[in-house]
Structure 1
């Protein structure tokens, strides 16, 4: 159950961070206005809170692992929202990142040396 909770938190964090950055992008680069930017800032703040809910107590580990989730999630966001078509190298890179996430977060460790 802890791994499932962690995975769900990673997905929620990805939606908040990628969505927040996208809203700011839309507000600024696509001239949609300050309300889009404000929504992005709120979503990015929510990302920070969601990340703090991860069961692992190590900030550096959580943020390092989230980097891989962000890579894969950004490609998925681009496909769904912007109709971006990743090439095979994008997919290979994202898979490598997700393998890294699994190793960083879920590899067996001694309980005393987290």
Structure 2
């Protein structure tokens, strides 16, 4: 699978997981209607489906997704919740991203 398509699937999976989790969070923590929770649950199921579209094995995909999730969670918090990541958040996310790209995309024998 080409790297751009693979990264796109990771971003889509991240949006589904974070977005679905956020809808459930709003339902339970911000007194939103039940349909927020139901929609959030459906979006979380979609996350699980999107992740299976990667062509690598389960362990490598989920390890890589963990690092992508770190970056996306910080971006979500910044853009949606008004949380401003500091330099240590950014450095840590960068290290995680470099590591998971090595796990997923480095050539294998």
- TM-score, structure 2 as length reference: 0.96
1:25-84 deviations in Å (ceiling 9; x for gaps): 11101111211111110111000000000121x101100110001111000011111111
* Cα distance between partner residues in 1 of 2:72 and 2:41: 19
Query: Which runs of 5 or more structure 1 residues have no equivalent in the other structure?
Result: none
Residues 29-108 of structure 1: pairs in structure 2 closer than 5 A: 29-56=29-56, 58-108=57-107
8 Å contact 1:2–1:55 — kept in the other structure?
no
SS at match of 1:53: coil
Pairing 1:3–2:9 present: no
* Cα distance between partner residues in 2 of 1:27 and 1:82: 16
Cα root mean square deviation, aligned: 0.9
Query: Which runs of 5 or more structure 2 residues have no equivalent in the other structure?
Result: none
* Cα distance between partner residues in 1 of 2:8 and 2:64: 14
- The number of aligned residues is 109
* Cα distance between partner residues in 2 of 1:85 and 1:3: 29
Q: 4+ residue stretches of structure 1 with deviation over 4 A?
A: none
* Cα distance between partner residues in 1 of 2:89 and 2:14: 18
